[in-house]
Chain A
Amino acid sequence: MTAELLEQELHAYVDGTLPEARRLEVETWLATHPADAARVQAWTGQNQSLHAAFDAVLNEPLPLSLVRATRRPIMTMPFKTLTAMLAMLVTGLLGYAIGLGSSGLAPAAPAYLARDAAIAHAVFSPEARHPVEVDAAHADHLVAWLSKRVGTQLQAPDFSAQGFELLGGRLLSGETGPVAQFMYQDRIERRVTLYVRRAVAGNQETAFRHATENGVDVFYWIDGDFGYALSGQIGRQAIQRLADAAYQQLVTASAKP
Chain B
Amino acid sequence: MRARPDLIEHLPRLRRYARALTGDVNRADDLVQDTLERALAKLDLWQPGSDLRAWLFTLMHNLFVNQIRLRRPQETVMEDALDVPVSGGQMEALAARDIHEALARLPEEQREVLLLVGLEQFGYSEAAQVLGVPMGTVMSRLSRARERMRQMLAGEPAIKLKVVK
A-to-B contact residues, CB < 8 Å? 7-8, 11-12, 15, 17, 39, 42-43, 45-47, 49-55, 57-60, 62-63, 65-67, 69-73, 78, 96, 101, 118-119, 122-123, 127-129, 214
Residues of chain A lying within 8 A (CB to CB) of residue B1: 78, 101
Task: Give B1-38 as 1s and 0s: 1 = Cβ < 8 Å from A's Cβ atoms.
Answer: 10001111101110110011000000001001100110
Give, as a whole number of angstroms, the nearest-CB distance from A84 to chain B: 13
Q: Which residue of A lies closest to B118 (CB)?
A: A47
- Of B64-72, B76-84, B142-150, the one contacting chain A is B142-150
CB distance from A125 to the nearest CB of B (A): 11
Question: What's the count of A-B pairs with C-beta under 8 Å?
Answer: 109
Residues in chain B near residue A50, CB distance under 8 A: 20, 99, 114-115, 118-119
Closest to A38 in B: B150
Instruction: Give the one of B1, B146, B147 with max A CB within 10 A.
Output: B146
Instruction: Given A43-B150, A50-B20, A62-B12, decide whether A15 and B117 contact each other with a Cβ distance below 8 A.
Output: yes
Contacts of A15 in B (CB 8 A): 117-118, 121
Are the C-beta atoms of A96 and B8 separated by less than 8 Å? yes
Is B100 located at the chain interface by the 8 A CB criterion? yes
Q: Find out whether the CB atom of A214 lies under 8 angstroms from the CB atom of B33.
A: no
Chain B hits for A127, CB < 8 A: 121
Task: Please state if B16 and A57 are interface contacts (CB–CB under 8 Å).
Answer: yes
> What is the predominant secondary structure among interface residues of chain A facing chain B?
helix
Measured in the bound complex, the distance between the Cα atoms of B43 and A169 in whole Å is 34
Contacting pair B5 A214 (CB below 8 A): yes
Restricting to B86-120, which residues have a CB under 8 Å from any CB of A? 98-100, 114-115, 117-119
Q: Which residue of B lies closest to A70 (CB)?
A: B7
Q: Is A60 a contact partner of B15 (Cβ separation < 8 A)?
A: yes
Instruction: Say yes or no: A46 contacts B146, CB within 8 Å.
Output: yes
A11 and B142 contacting across the interface, CB-CB below 8 Å: yes
Beyond A15-B121, A62-B15, 11 extra complex contacts between A and B, CB < 8 Å: A11-B143, A17-B124, A50-B99, A53-B100, A58-B12, A58-B16, A60-B15, A66-B15, A66-B36, A67-B8, A123-B13
Say how far A41's CB is from chain B's closest CB, in angstroms. 10
B139 within 8 A of A: yes
| Minimum distance in angstroms from A123 CB to a CB of chain B | 5
Complex interface: chain A residues within 8 A of B8 (CB):
62, 67, 70, 96, 119
